[in-house]
Amino acid sequence: MRRFPARLRRHGGERGATAIELAMIMPVVLAVVLLIVQVALWFHGRQVADAAAREGARIARAAGTESEGWQDEAAERARSIVRAVGPELLQDAEATAWEEGDQRGVEVTGQAVQVIPLLPELTFSITARFGGPVECFRPDDGSDQCQ
């Protein structure tokens, strides 16, 4: 049998402790990394939804007060932005045009990509809503009618 020096024999009971500590801490580290990735994907999906809603609202506002079919055109433009920029980043994306008084815009909703498959009931919903007043020409004769 091989004899170890006295300084090594004192700590002989701690051999392998580092491996056990690593095995205990690794699931926590992995969970934190996955959470950071999930938040980053949610944030990026939100940016895609914001860009799509902003572009759809631009079309809705510029259509004028007398135009027909601006809702379909604005919503389709928002959907095309989602398809072009990040179809996988914003899943189940839907775009809806809205009008409230002299305000028009688009609302885009969807789900962020889910990294943690163990939590299927946990969803990361994204909603972006942009709009503003309808752009129109108002004559200088004092009337408040859009042309």
139 occurs within a structural domain: no
Read off the pLDDT band of 109 (50, 70, 90): very high
pLDDT above 90 covers a percentage of the chain that reads: 39
47 occurs within a structural domain: yes
143 occurs within a structural domain: no
11 occurs within a structural domain: no
For residue 107, pLDDT over 90 is answered with: yes
51 occurs within a structural domain: yes
Q: At 20, phi and psi to the nearest 5?
A: -70, -40
16 occurs within a structural domain: no
Q: Assign residue 102 the CATH number of its domain.
A: 3.30.1300
Give the range of the structural domain holding residue 72, as residue numbers without chain letter.
22-133
In 3D space, the residue among 73, 121, 122, 114 whose CA is nearest the CA of residue 91 turns out to be 114
pTM, full prediction: 0.74
89 close to 44: Cβ distance less than 8 angstroms: yes
95 occurs within a structural domain: yes
pLDDT in tens, 122-138: 788 999 999 988 877 66
pLDDT value, residue 75: 93
9 occurs within a structural domain: no
pLDDT value, residue 115: 82
Angle at which helix 70-85 crosses helix 17-62, to 10 degrees, equals 150
Average pLDDT over the chain reads 83
Distances in Å between the Cα of 28 and the Cα atoms of 1, 40, 93, 104 are 41, 19, 33, 47
53 close to 110: Cβ distance less than 8 angstroms: no
Can you tell me the distance from the alpha carbon of 85 to that of 10, in angstroms, rounded to the nearest whole number? Answer: 62
Q: What is the number of domains present in the chain?
A: 1
Read off the pLDDT band of 11 (50, 70, 90): low
pLDDT in tens, 40-94: 999 999 999 999 999 999 999 888 777 788 899 999 999 999 999 878 888 889 9
